[in-house]
């Protein structure tokens, strides 16, 4: 008897930032990302917030995409995100164990994407960010940013980053938005409220 096919990412139960775990979700969707006080991060830029990049070496554990009962180690957020595209254990491990984040990205581009990947990818990224920031020092770093806008300042990626093709700040910033969503969740879970009082 053949074993059942692994569960593709499209069938995984990956919650969005709208459930009971996210009290008072902030409207992180916006038209521009050049607001004063914005924290910009990118893998090509050194600084205290470089860990927010998916390419940063920030090992963390999370359930395997193909078997949620098995917890695996991910070297970076990029390894975890790209591994979610895999349909077989061989592809999953090849991506997960890639030498670095760039190699993981290239390996992920060689697998056939699920038909609804464009719809699922934001939920997958949210799951990756949630797992990554369970590491205590990373969670504290994220919480230390308060209510400041977080934006990935990649000059090459208008989807996950905040820059558009013309170099402006009208990209989608999906990674920054996932980080801010998880920051809200961590604050709520810890019973903290670092939100500044509004001016009266």
* Region 6-10 average pLDDT: 36
- Confidence class for position 29, pLDDT limits 50, 70, 90: confident
Is it the case that residue 199 has pLDDT exceeding 90? Answer: no
Domain annotation for the chain: domains and CATH numbers: 52-132 (1.10.357.40)
Quote the mean pLDDT of the chain.
Answer: 85
Residue 189 has phi, psi (to 5 degrees) of -65, -30
Measured CA to CA, the distance from residue 132 to residue 145 in angstroms comes to 16
* Region 155-164 average pLDDT: 95
> Which of 11, 7, 41, 6 is closest to 120 using CA atoms?
11
- Which DSSP state fits 30? -
Helix (H) or strand (E) holding 61: strand 60-63
pLDDT tens-place string over residues 176-195: 999 999 999 999 998 865 55
Question: For tokens 């990224």, what's the residue?
Answer: 125
- What is residue 7's predicted lDDT score, i.e. its pLDDT? 38
This prediction's pTM? 0.83
- What is residue 45's predicted lDDT score, i.e. its pLDDT? 80
């Amino acid at each position: 008897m053949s074993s059942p096919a692994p569960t593709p990412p499209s069938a995984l139960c990956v919650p969005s930032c709208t459930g009971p775990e996210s009290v008072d979700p902030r409207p992180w969707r916006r038209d521009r990302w050049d607001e004063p006080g914005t924290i910009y991060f990118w893998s090509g830029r050194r600084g205290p917030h470089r860990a927010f990049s998916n390419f940063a070496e920030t090992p963390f554990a999370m359930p395997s995409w193909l078997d949620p009962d098995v917890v695996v180690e991910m070297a970076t957020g990029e390894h975890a995100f790209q591994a979610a595209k895999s349909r077989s254990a061989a592809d999953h491990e090849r991506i997960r164990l890639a030498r670095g984040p760039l190699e993981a990205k290239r390996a992920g581009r060689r697998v056939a994407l699920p038909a609804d990947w464009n719809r699922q990818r934001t939920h997958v990224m949210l799951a990756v960010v949630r797992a990554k920031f369970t590491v205590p020092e990373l969670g504290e770093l994220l919480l230390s940013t308060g209510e400041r806008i977080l934006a990935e300042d990649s000059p090459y990626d208008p989807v996950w980053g905040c820059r558009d093709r013309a170099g402006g700040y009208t990209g989608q910033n999906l990674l920054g938005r996932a980080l801010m969503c998880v920051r809200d969740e961590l604050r709520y879970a810890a019973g903290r409220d670092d939100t500044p009082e509004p001016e009266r």
